[in-house]
Amino acid sequence: MNNSEKCFQQAKLSIPGGVNSPVRSFSSVKRNPLFIDSAKGAYVFDIDGNEYIDYVGSWGPMILGHNHPKIQEAVINATNKGLSFGAPTKPEITMAELIKKHISSIDKVRMVNSGTEATMSAIRLARGYTGKSKIIKFEGCYHGHVDSLLVKAGSGALTFGKPSSAGIPDDTTKDTLVCQFNDIKSVEQAIKNNENEIAALIIEPVAGNMNCILPKDNFLKKIRELCNLNKIILIFDEVMTGFRVNYKSAQGYYDVQPDLTCLGKIIGGGLPAAAFGGKSEIMDMLAPNGPVYQAGTLSGNPIAMAAGTACLQTLMNEKNFKDLDHKSKSLTSGLLTVANDYKVPFKTSQIGGMFGLFFTNQESISTFKDVNQCNQEHFLKFFNEMLDQGIYLAPSSFEAGFISLAHTQDLIEQTINASETAFKEIAKV
Ligand code: PMP
């Protein structure tokens, strides 16, 4: 038994499932999880002394690579002043202004501690602002473990085979309408059937919790129009896509302005920070200005603000995003070539520093149904073969992959070379 296996046994005795977030358990890839000791640049190192080229990046935040010196320095400097004050601080203004500078749909922004808090609060705010109750979400989109949003959700909720969770009363989800991603007719129908009752529509503008699905045929623009016509608050959940897919985030890339935006992951630079923001008129409904209550003991924590600010300041130039896009293109096209060589049915998607791998010969993959039809057995083989060769991919076929600025062309070549063995094995099945 290696050290990771020993630790997993030990962890299971005192932590449910041995993990503090389900997908980490590797249960969907039928393997013991690696216990990570440290990480640097594009690499993670496990407690058995193995190194891996990491395409998970702590599920998104590590866009500069692990333990970037600028973030590390900012965190150390911030800790010299104290850890948390429960009072306003200057770093919160710096962060708010940075976010506003890069996301033009945001006039005001409130910091929270997780993506879940951001989406939960945005939904409450939209309901408070409109006085309506119903919300629209999309099958396969994940917005954290908010009760009312855990309906046909993506990510771990998908791999565990439960479209929603036990412990959520039917009443809590009765106002959640589920539409199909990339199917505007399903949205039109939901709005028609619930006229004047829908407070908000929440969507991942690029769906990253059912693999990586891009919006097509102006889907987001059409949604914007429908929301305008029906006085529905449009919420872009950019917890994953914000500062990841493009210099201007997904909303800039697709040129669609939401009313509210949720952010997380990258804006914390690896520490717990997230945010929701939007038009002043809506944001000013929040306490203490307005009647919608929302709060947090550690919200805007100075250490998290320091990490996030250093991350954004280092990241935000157009050249970095060209670089990320080039790298994810180079990875996905390289993998595709090898798959074709071995005649393995395979497709890819990519945008900026985010990519998807699909084991399928379907012409287009644009809905949750399409993702569900991919070959799970092939994915399993691929994941395991790659991990054995030191390539750490997301342990689920429903998760997007992430590239960082620390992934050099050499590491990408190494990854593509490793895939030879994996595709060769799959071709034998
Ligand atoms: N929204 C999206 C799009 C996400 O990908 C996630 C997490 N992966 C969340 C919300 C929830 O964020 P957190 O895990 O920080 O609560």
Mutate to test the pocket of ligand 1, among 142, 212, 261, 402 (most ligand atoms within 8 A of CB): 142
Contacts of residue 332, Cβ cutoff 8 Å, sequence gap at least 6: 348, 349, 350, 355, 357
Residue 213 in tokens: 């699905």
Q: Where are the alpha helices (DSSP H) in 80-143?
A: 90-102, 115-130
What is the position in ligand 1's atom list of the atom closest to the CA of 238? 3
Cα gap 210→140, rounded to integer Å: 5
Q: Render each residue's pLDDT in the chain as its tens digit; 429 residues.
A: 999 999 999 999 999 999 999 999 999 999 999 999 999 999 999 999 999 999 999 999 999 999 999 999 999 999 999 999 999 999 999 999 999 999 999 999 999 999 999 999 999 999 999 999 999 999 999 999 999 898 877 666 544 434 468 998 888 888 999 999 999 999 999 999 999 999 999 999 999 999 999 999 999 999 999 999 999 999 999 999 999 999 999 999 999 999 999 999 999 999 999 999 999 999 999 999 999 999 999 999 999 999 999 999 999 999 999 999 999 999 999 999 999 999 999 999 999 999 999 999 999 999 999 999 999 999 999 999 999 999 999 999 999 999 999 999 999 999 999 999 999 999 997
Cα gap 177→135, rounded to integer Å: 6
Question: What pTM was computed for the model?
Answer: 0.97
Beta bridge partners of 45: 38, 51
Cα gap 315→247, rounded to integer Å: 9
Mutate to test the pocket of ligand 1, among 120, 209, 235, 399 (most ligand atoms within 8 A of CB): 209
Domains and CATH numbers, the chain: 3-67+317-428 (3.90.1150.10), 69-315 (3.40.640.10)
Q: What is the pLDDT of residue 159?
A: 46
DSSP letters along 226-240, please? HHHHTT-EEEEE-TT
Q: What is the pLDDT of residue 165?
A: 87
142 noted as active-site residue: yes
ipTM above 0.95, yes or no: yes
Residue type present at position 149? L
H helix or E strand, kind and range, residue 251: helix 249-253
Cα gap 403→315, rounded to integer Å: 13
236 lines ligand 1 (CB under 6 A): no
Residue-level length of the chain:
429
Residue 9 in tokens: 């046994």
